[in-house]
Amino acid sequence: VNWMRVGFIHGVMNTDNVSISGETFDYGPCAFLNSYHPETVFSSIDVNGRYSFGNQSKILKWNLIKLAQTLLPLIDTNQENAILLAQQTLDKFDTLRDDYFYTIMLNKIGIENKTKDDRFLVNELLDLMQKLNLDYTNTFAAFSQEIEILFKPLSNNPLMKEWLKKWEKRINQNSNGIETAKNIMKNYNPIFIPRNHKVEKVLNNACNGDYSDFNTFMNILKSPYSFKDEFHSYLDTPNPDFENEYQTFCGT
């Protein structure tokens, strides 16, 4: 879930790429989300979207089920009891995942003291982002730091205007209002991510012996939550052709 907070797609989150602690590793065909679409896939081998952005937490549960199956003989010598005990534990996963997911997503929009109704605010925003084809990182960055080149297009959209009114009303009900919300959001919303088209450019230049872009890029990514105007070009999203055709591989 924390990877999803920053729009990360692991790409091949199968059982041997998730540790017993729940952490993922072996980042082969990984990539970051641009436009928000839960079904986004970049991995060349993931033709059915099994490891798509929005499916990652479901796959984690699947992996836990597979782990539980191997542990059944150690849970109880009676297989029926072992299955029952394992199932009771696995049944807690969805509630725990949803609670953590909405806690993180509410922090991304500056809300700490959550209520049950706040989930609707998150869901409405994500639906709007998908409908309007909005960039995942830039949208949240626009809220948290009011970067003009990012925020202006959002605030001018009629649908987003309506959502922003609801959000501002909710923020003003929450503790110390907008300034507190901004401070919360700044810790949860990166400004800069290793966007796929930027990564490819940096790699191509480095392969040709020019490491200047690589050095700049690495310095930017060391402080992903800090906006610097001279690096605003790193906020640029890829053109649709690149986005639609880009693939990652296990050797990426």
Residue 16 designated active-site: yes
Contact 153, 135 (CB under 8 A): no
C-beta atoms surrounding 78 within 10 Å: 10
Q: Which residues contact 83 (CB under 8 A, 6 or more apart)?
A: 72
Contact 113, 147 (CB under 8 A): no
The one catalytic residue in 16, 91, 117, 229 is 16
DSSP conformational letter for 18: B
Contact 108, 189 (CB under 8 A): yes
Write the Ramachandran bin of 46: left for phi over 0, alpha for psi from -120 to 50, otherwise beta: beta
Q: Transcribe 219-231 into DSSP letters.
A: HHHTSTT---GGG
Catalytic residues: 16
